């Protein structure tokens, strides 16, 4: 497992995202309205739309291409659509630093 510093808590506005590339995988880190952070692979399972460009509402992101609704907490696409995206753990330290946790088995080459 690798722990990568992403940002400070205040660097990412609520209901926005930041993207990082780790190996061959682009990851979107979302900050929800309650201040929680979640990370998912930055591509919709439908047509590979960049989720980081989608609208965030509650704990869902809506794909900007075809409005698929994806839960950023568990990566599951919501009905009537089907599928899922890979999620990644996030750690936020008391100092306000945000870290992404990745493992070699969770990333594509």
From edge to edge, which strands make up the β-sheet containing 25-31?
Answer: 16-22, 25-31, 37-41, 87-88
pTM for the whole thing?
0.91
Query: What is the spatial distance between Cα 1 and Cα 105, in angstroms, rounded to a whole number?
Result: 9
In CATH, what class is 2-106? mainly beta
| Phi and psi angles of residue 9, each rounded to the nearest 5 degrees, phi first | -50, -45
Contact predicate 91/3, CB 8 Å: yes
pLDDT digits (tens, 9 = 90+) for 48-101: 999 999 999 999 999 999 999 999 999 999 999 999 999 999 999 999 999 999
């Amino acid at each position: 497992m690798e722990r990568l510093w992403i940002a400070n808590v205040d660097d990412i506005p609520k209901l926005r995202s930041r993207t990082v590339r780790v190996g061959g995988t682009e990851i979107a880190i979302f900050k929800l309205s309650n201040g929680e952070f979640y990370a998912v692979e930055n591509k919709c399972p439908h047509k590979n739309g960049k989720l980081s460009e989608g609208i965030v509402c509650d704990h869902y992101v809506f794909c900007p291409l075809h409005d698929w609704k994806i839960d950023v907490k568990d990566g599951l696409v919501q009905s009537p659509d089907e599928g899922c995206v890979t999620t990644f753990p996030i750690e936020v330290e008391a100092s306000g630093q945000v870290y992404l946790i990745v493992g070699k088995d969770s990333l594509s080459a």
